[in-house]
Amino acid sequence: MKAIRVAAYGSPDAMTLTELDDPVPGDNEVLIDVAAASVNPIDWKIVSGAMKAFIPLPLPFTPGVDAAGTVIAVGRNVTTLAPGDEVMGFIGIVGAYATQAVVDAARLARIPASMRFQQAAAIPAASLTAWQALHEHGALQAGQSVLIHAAAGGVGSVAVQLARLAGARVTGTASAGSRDYVLGLGATEVIDYAAEDFAARTAAFDLVLDLVGGATQDRSWSVLKPDGILVSTVSKPDPARGRDVGARGVNFATRADGPLLASLAALYGSGDLRTHIHATYPLARAAQALTTNMAGHVRGKLVIDMK
């Protein structure tokens, strides 16, 4: 098999494409012939070393959390999948930038019949993150108002659509160039973060989804209604700030969940959800894909095509 390898933390440019022995699935695992993987911010954060205190990894490792492909072998305890099944999954914190991957079967869902591998690879981590943020941690209800930061990005794009499906009124922050894209996903309003201060919308939202962190997170407290919720995928919101405004904050790590992913896959299969692929790269150009993601302003997802 071929795989991207990280021998030392640092720039994505130091990653290498290497030939490795084919992996063998354990009792509860499947071996996937990977057709495509997607790029997520966690990938370059891990490669850079920014996450090594929280996610220690033995070197070298293969980055990538999202994969889609065809099952080619199963462990002896696996009864839910069989060779030939086309699957996708949030496979773990590393391992997807390769032509083969061993994955716990519980992390996987079948790909809808009408979907290409490139589209499927773009779904798992972003969709699971958006769903868990809005529904499990944000307790989103129909009729509520939600503000989604970075609404044109991978997670933001899904969150806008899921919030709309839940019957919420959705406002997103994005660049002026992404305004029509975010409106097309179902947002009622888009705030151009370069031209308007979103924090001027005092006590306007029941829920804020923070996908940015830093000053954006700090300033988000002021726009929450009493008893509102600030959900962040980036860092833990300050509890003292929450008490000051009568709101609460939540930080969480995305949970792999095959059955939930299968439910989300059905929404994509029916057309209720859609994904946008900003650009596709061959495996040999994985470093360029990570560098592009690091620079920001990606609309939807970047995908690495193994074939």
Per-residue pLDDT, averaged over 137-161, amounts to 98
Instruction: Please give the pLDDT value at position 114.
Output: 84
Q: Do β-strands 86-90 and 100-104 pair in parallel, antiparallel, or remain unpaired?
A: unpaired
pLDDT tens digit sequence for 76-109: 999 999 999 999 999 999 999 999 999 999 999 9
User: Quick check: 216 pLDDT over 90?
Assistant: yes
Distance CA 92, CA 61 (A): 12
Q: What are the Cα distances from residue 203, in Å, to 76, 101, 221?
A: 55, 47, 9
Q: What is the pTM of this model?
A: 0.96
Please choose, from the candidates 199, 200, 201, 147, the residue with its C-alpha nearest in 3D space to the C-alpha of residue 174: 147
Crossing angle (nearest 10°) for helices 154-165 and 124-131: 50
Instruction: Please give the pLDDT value at position 202.
Output: 84
Per-residue pLDDT, averaged over 235-256, amounts to 95
Distance CA 163, CA 177 (A): 22
Which two structure tokens, joined as six digits, stand for 40? 């997520």
> What residues are paired with 68 via a beta bridge?
36, 88
* 135-168 burial: b if 16+ Cβ within 10 Å, else e: eebbebeeebbbbbbbbbbbbbbbbbbbbbebeb
- In the structure, what pLDDT confidence band is assigned to residue 203 with cuts at 50, 70 and 90? confident
pLDDT tens digit sequence for 228-242: 999 999 999 999 999
Would you give the DSSP letter of residue 196?
S
